[in-house]
């Protein structure tokens, strides 16, 4: 039996999608549309060979996308999708495949079972295409903008790709109609007199066309897809930084990361002056682009007078959860000549671990002096700096 091959069309310019580079090379959660489409076919157990059709100017972009995938060398496309399809078809002649699937690179969310359905239906049909039934009522408009006609939707489907064909028939039809213009390959075999079977595609298999389609794609490509395609996704990782200073004043202890530490002075502030926890709260808020500590707990509000700073940190952590995020790691540096941080590190870690519901091993606390320089060196106060790494799912 002949091979099953897949042709992924990526020779267009993506003019409607805007932006600098053609849409098929733009990424959704760190993986380009073209790479997502290629992976879907490379990983399908019934597909033997996969080839992309690319624009001659995109060779360097293609190399980056395709480097580690098991692909046939790409071929160049033409001015129209139809011409790109024909070039791709001709490149497979030497393999005499039995079935070919033609897919738009701009449909990165094609499901494996959509591919299977199209492929399997070619056992009984010359041609088949993935499509979805129309659920909206469809209206035809007249020139004045009014409804001319309501079209019964029962028989209407929206065409997707892949579209599958017996190789000989699609090649012959493409050659026969190369001087006419069709928007999809199924229409070309229809014109050649073949019957084309409609099979269910998948709802997510939309064609990325306009700029807002990238937003839809971002939402769609959740963890589930990452697992299926074994994609290591780093695009949801955010890093926030925070910084705070409090001045020494009268007192016999300071509070750092929720831990009271005996000292010759206290720290002055509206709240309990936990400078370390304030820096950390700001880092977390920074990681989710949610303003700063003063946005939620203004010092002008008497409610926060003497408040324990864990209220602020708890609230910031809650906001991360609300944004579907997880705190992965935090790193904190406390700058002061005294008190010494080292002896209290473990209790600080445990307190933060408790508040953030995070393992102590993911909480780093460091102390440093500023070599007697500046306000911390003159023992006028304590400064703290924090970084929080957050993964938004
Ligand atoms: N395509 C192609 N060769 C062309 C035109 C299109 O291979 N000359 C491919 C595109 O790369 C895309 C698919 O056909 O994967 C569907 O086309 P479309 O969504 O229209 O993409 P573009 O033509 O790139 O976009 P636009 O029409 O907005 O310029
Ligand atoms: Mg186009």
pLDDT of residue 188: 98
Interval 43-72 mean pLDDT:
96
Query: Which among 97, 155, 151 is positioned nearest to 131, based on CA atoms?
Result: 155
Nearest CA among 80, 102, 94 for reference residue 162:
102
pLDDT band at 233, cuts 50/70/90? Answer: low
Helix %, strand %, coil % for the chain, to 5? 35, 25, 35
Task: Report whether residue 24 contacts ligand 1, using a CB cutoff of 6 Å.
Answer: yes
Q: Which CB contacts under 8 angstroms, 24+ apart, belong to 177-186?
A: 178/82, 178/83, 178/86, 181/80, 181/82, 182/82, 183/81, 184/81, 184/129, 184/159, 185/82, 185/85, 185/102, 186/127, 186/129, 186/159
Q: Is the previous residue joined to 218 through a cis bond, with omega within 30 degrees of 0?
A: no
Ligand 1 proximity of 79 Cβ (cutoff 6 Å):
yes
Q: Residue ranges per domain, the chain? A: 4-210, 237-392
Total Cβ atoms within 10 A of residue 241: 14
Cα 153 from Cα 136, distance rounded (Å): 8
- 261-291: per-residue pLDDT in tens? 999 999 998 899 999 999 999 999 999 999 9
Say yes or no to pLDDT of 232 above 70.
Answer: no
**Which spans in the chain are helix H?**
33-42, 59-66, 81-91, 112-121, 167-176, 185-191, 211-220, 223-228, 275-287, 293-296, 310-322, 345-356, 374-377
pLDDT at res. 266: 96
**Is 234's pLDDT higher than 70?**
no
Nearest to 40 by CA among 235, 231, 203: 231
Determine whether the shortest distance from the Cβ of 82 to ligand 1 is under 6 A. no
SS3 374: helix
What is the model's pLDDT at position 343?
Answer: 96
Lowest mean pLDDT among 7-11, 284-288, 299-303, 372-376: 299-303
pLDDT for residue 231 is more than 50: no
User: Is residue 328 pLDDT above 90, yes or no?
Assistant: no
Dihedral sign for Cα atoms in the order 202, 204, 208, 212? positive
- Contact of 9 with 45, CB cutoff 8 Å: no
Crossing angle, helix 345-356 and helix 310-322, to 10 degrees? 40
Separation between Cα atoms, residue 126 and residue 346, nearest integer Å: 70
Atom of ligand 1 nearest to the CA of 15: 29
Least confident range from 24-38, 44-58, 250-264, 328-342: namely 24-38
Least confident of 93-107, 302-316, 328-342: 302-316
**pLDDT tens-digit profile of 10-22?**
999 999 998 789 9
* Topology annotation, domain 4-210: Spore Coat Polysaccharide Biosynthesis Protein SpsA; Chain A (3.90.550)
What pLDDT score was predicted for residue 223?
45
Report how far residue 272's alpha carbon sits from residue 304's, in angstroms, rounded to the nearest whole number: 9
Q: Which ligand lies nearest the alpha carbon of 81?
A: 1
Range of lowest pLDDT (80-89, 159-168, 308-317, 350-359): 350-359
Ligand 1, atom 7, residue with closest C-alpha: 11
pLDDT at 322 over 60: yes
pTM metric for this prediction: 0.63
Asked if pLDDT for residue 224 goes beyond 60, the answer is: no
Q: Which of 11, 12, 17, 75 to mutate to test the pocket of ligand 1 (most atoms within 8 A of CB)?
A: 12
Q: Under a CB-based contact definition with an 8 Å cutoff, are residues 104 and 9 in contact?
A: yes
- Of the given ranges (124-133, 136-145, 322-331), which has the lowest mean pLDDT? 322-331
Residue 257 Cβ < 6 Å to ligand 1: no
Integer Cα distance of 214 and 189 in angstroms: 32
179 burial type by CB count under 10 A (0-12 exposed, 13-18 middle, 19+ buried) = exposed
- Name the closest ligand to CA 16: 1
Ligand nearest to the CA of 13: 1
Residue 14 Cβ inside 6 Å of ligand 1? The answer reads yes
Residue with the smallest CA separation from ligand 1 atom 25 is: 14
The pLDDT assigned to 302 comes to 85
Is the Cβ atom of 293 under 6 angstroms away from ligand 1? no
What CATH number does domain 237-392 carry, 3.40.720.10, 3.40.50.360, 1.10.238.10, 3.30.1330.50? Answer: 3.30.1330.50
Q: Is the peptide bond before 339 cis (omega within 30 degrees of 0)?
A: yes
pLDDT per position as a tens digit, 239-252: 999 999 999 999 99
- DSSP state for residue 12 in the 8-state scheme: -
Residue nearest to atom 10 of ligand 1 (CA): 12
Going from the C-alpha of 145 to that of each of 19, 141, 227, the distances in angstroms are 32, 6, 47
- Ligand 1 atom nearest residue 54's Cα: 7
DSSP for residue 69: S
CB atoms within 10 A of CB 336: 25
Task: Look at residue 41 and tell me whether its pLDDT is greater than 70.
Answer: yes
Answer yes or no: is pLDDT of 100 > 90: yes
The ligand minimizing its distance to the Cα of 106 is 1
- Cβ(135) – ligand 1 distance below 6 Å: no
**Is it the case that residue 362 has pLDDT exceeding 90?**
no
Closest of 83, 100, 4, 98 to residue 45, by C-alpha: 4
Across all residues in the chain, what is the average pLDDT? 93
Average pLDDT over residues 101-114: 97
Å from CA of 62 to ligand 2 middle: 19
User: What are residue 144's phi and psi, to 5 degrees?
Assistant: -85, 0
Q: Is the pLDDT of residue 227 over 80?
A: no
Q: Are 108 and 11 in contact (CB under 8 A)?
A: no
Residue 371 buriedness (CB in 10 A; 0-12 / 13-18 / 19+): exposed
């Amino acid at each position: 039996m002949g091979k099953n091959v897949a042709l992924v069309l990526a020779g267009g310019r993506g003019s409607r999608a805007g932006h600098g580079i053609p849409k098929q090379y733009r990424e959704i959660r760190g993986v380009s549309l073209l790479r997502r489409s290629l992976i879907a076919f490379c990983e399908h157990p019934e597909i033997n060979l996969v080839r992309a059709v690319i624009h001659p100017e995109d060779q360097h972009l293609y190399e980056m996308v395709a480097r580690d995938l098991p692909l046939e060398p790409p071929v160049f496309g033409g001015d129209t999708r139809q011409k790109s399809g024909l070039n791709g078809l001709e490149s497979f002649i030497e393999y005499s495949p039995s079935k070919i699937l033609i897919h738009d690179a701009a449909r990165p969310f094609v499901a494996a079972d959509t591919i299977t359905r199209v492929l399997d239906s070619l056992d009984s049909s010359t041609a088949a295409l993935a499509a979805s039934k129309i659920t909206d009522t469809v209206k035809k408009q007249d020139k004045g903008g009014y409804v001319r006609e309501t079209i019964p939707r029962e028989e209407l489907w929206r065409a997707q790709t892949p579209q599958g064909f017996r190789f000989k028939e699609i090649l012959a039809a493409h050659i026969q109609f190369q001087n006419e213009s069709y928007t999809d390959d199924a229409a070309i075999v229809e014109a050649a007199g073949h019957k084309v079977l409609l099979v269910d595609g998948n709802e997510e298999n939309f064609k990325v066309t306009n700029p807002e389609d990238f937003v839809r794609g971002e939402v769609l490509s959740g963890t589930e897809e990452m697992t299926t395609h074994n994609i290591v996704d780093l695009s949801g990782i955010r890093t926030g930084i925070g910084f705070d200073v409090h001045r020494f004043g009268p007192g016999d202890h300071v509070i750092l990361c929720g831990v009271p530490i005996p000292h010759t002075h206290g720290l002055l502030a509206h709240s309990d002056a936990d400078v370390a926890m304030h820096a950390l709260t700001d880092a977390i808020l920074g990681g989710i682009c949610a303003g700063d500590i003063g946005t939620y707990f203004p010092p002008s509000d008497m409610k926060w007078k003497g408040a324990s700073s864990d209220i602020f940190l708890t609230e910031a952590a809650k906001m991360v959860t609300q944004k579907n995020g997880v705190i992965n790691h935090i790193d904190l540096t406390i700058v002061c000549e005294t008190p010494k941080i080292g002896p209290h590190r473990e209790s600080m870690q445990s307190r933060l671990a408790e508040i953030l519901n995070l393992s102590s091993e993911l909480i780093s606390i460091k102390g440093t002096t500023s070599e007697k320089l500046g306000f911390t060196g003159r023992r006028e106060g304590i400064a703290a700096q924090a970084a929080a790494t957050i993964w938004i799912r």
